[in-house]
Amino acid sequence: MRQNALVRWLVLPLLLVVLGCSLSTAPQQPQEIPAATADATEPASPAQLSAEEIEALVDAAVAEQLAQTERTPVAYAPGPVIATDLEETLTSLYARANPAVVYIIVGTGGISSGSGSGFVYTREGHIVTNNHVVTGGRSYEVVFSNGERMLATLVGADPDSDLAVLKVEGLPEGIEPLAVAQSDALEVGQFVVAIGNPFGEQGSMSLGIISGLGRSLQSQRGTTTGGSTYSLPEVIQTDAPINPGNSGGPLLNLNGEVVGVNAAIASTTGTSSGVGFSIPAAAIRRVVPSLISDGRYTYPYMGVSFDGEITLEEQDIYGLPQIQGAYVVSVTSGGPGALAGLIAADPSTGRGGDLIIALDERPINSFADLNSFLSFQASAGQTIAVKVLRGGETVTLSLTLGERP
């Protein structure tokens, strides 16, 4: 009824215009009608139409218009799919990278004890994953994205970097190793992608950003001789969702390069809370080749314990002129630091220790800087120059690094 009324109001003005034109052009004087047609029936002129007849004409016109509308098909085309550069980049990246990401099932005497992720590192079948994924395992089954399964052997593992290498006898056809980034020039806010098998859901991809740099992860072996605890520096923090099962999988930049190995999450529930951690590419480049060749990696060792972060309150307690540097809390007897002449703080007062401010002319503003230098730039057996602040003076010592026990 509402549609009929609408059409009536659209048609009525047009019909009235037509009728008006007819009235204005009609003859003003009566004309003789030939006898032959005098009795013929002809339509009444507009002037002769009554109001009821005009309304009937309008109703007929409305009915015809509605019928015409129903006879005319209306084609509805779906809206265009909006493609973005980021979407195309992500779909292309996944197509290239996912075949090289594997699902690792860890067995202990015929019973599956855990699972994780990994990625193909070499064409010879080496697969990088986490140390904590393979720890305690007696067998390792690798599942590729095409469903093919292979048994793998453990080549080497390093609890301090939480890296491990497995090896399969051959790769399925068409699978290429993932490239490890050769540059460590990452920026907070940079897009990254995690691919892995969270909760066993194989081939899952999540997108996020680098949300922090320069974090650290505790060694998987925990407390070591002398009471010091080793940690891995330069760890990447990301908000790309990482969950149990993602461990060992790659963190990729949008070029498809591995910038990290997903290792842990900070969570009170065991699921992603937007704070995930990835082992940096620098550790992969340094540790993995040694795991492949030797089955282990040897870290340089100073035999010194430090204050992890000097606060303003501690600066006052230690009696230091500045907070920039790595403060020597204790020195292992007979270790490289003791042989070089480093002095530890008095255990009763906390004062009198050396403050290391440079290693081989590289400024050391914190223990994190010192740890990064030892982890990624120094080697066991290397002799380095250690510059310290001692009693208001600058002293440079020669220290030959040992092997981390």
Catalytic residues: 132, 162, 247
Give the type of residue at 276: G
| Buried/exposed code over 226-259 (b: 16+ C-beta within 10 A; e: otherwise) | eeeebbbbbbbbbbbbbbbbbbbbbbbbeebbbb
Burial class of 288 by CB neighbour count within 10 A (0 to 12, 13 to 18, 19+): buried
Neighbours of 160 (CB within 10 A): 21
CA 241 to CA 52: how far, in whole Å?
75
CA 242 to CA 238: how far, in whole Å?
9
For residue 128, give every residue at least 6 positions away whose Cβ sits within 8 Å of its Cβ, in sequence order, or none: 118, 119, 121, 163, 164, 165, 248, 261, 284, 288
Give the N- to C-terminal CA distance of the chain in Å, as an integer: 91
Work out the widest C-alpha separation in the chain, in whole angstroms: 143
**DSSP string across 187-254:** -TT-EEEEEE-GGG-TTEEEEEEEEEEEEEEEEEEEE-TTS-EEEEEEEEEE-S---TT-TT-EEE-T
Q: At what angle do helices 51-71 and 2-25 cross, to 10 degrees?
A: 120
Can you say how many angstroms the Cα of residue 199 is from the centroid of all Cα atoms in its chain? Answer: 17
For residue 58, give every residue at least 6 positions away whose Cβ sits within 8 Å of its Cβ, in sequence order, or none: 8, 11, 12, 15
CA 325 vs CA 261, 314, 359, 378: distances in Å: 30, 13, 11, 18
Q: Is 80 helix (H, G, I), strand (E, B) or coil?
A: coil
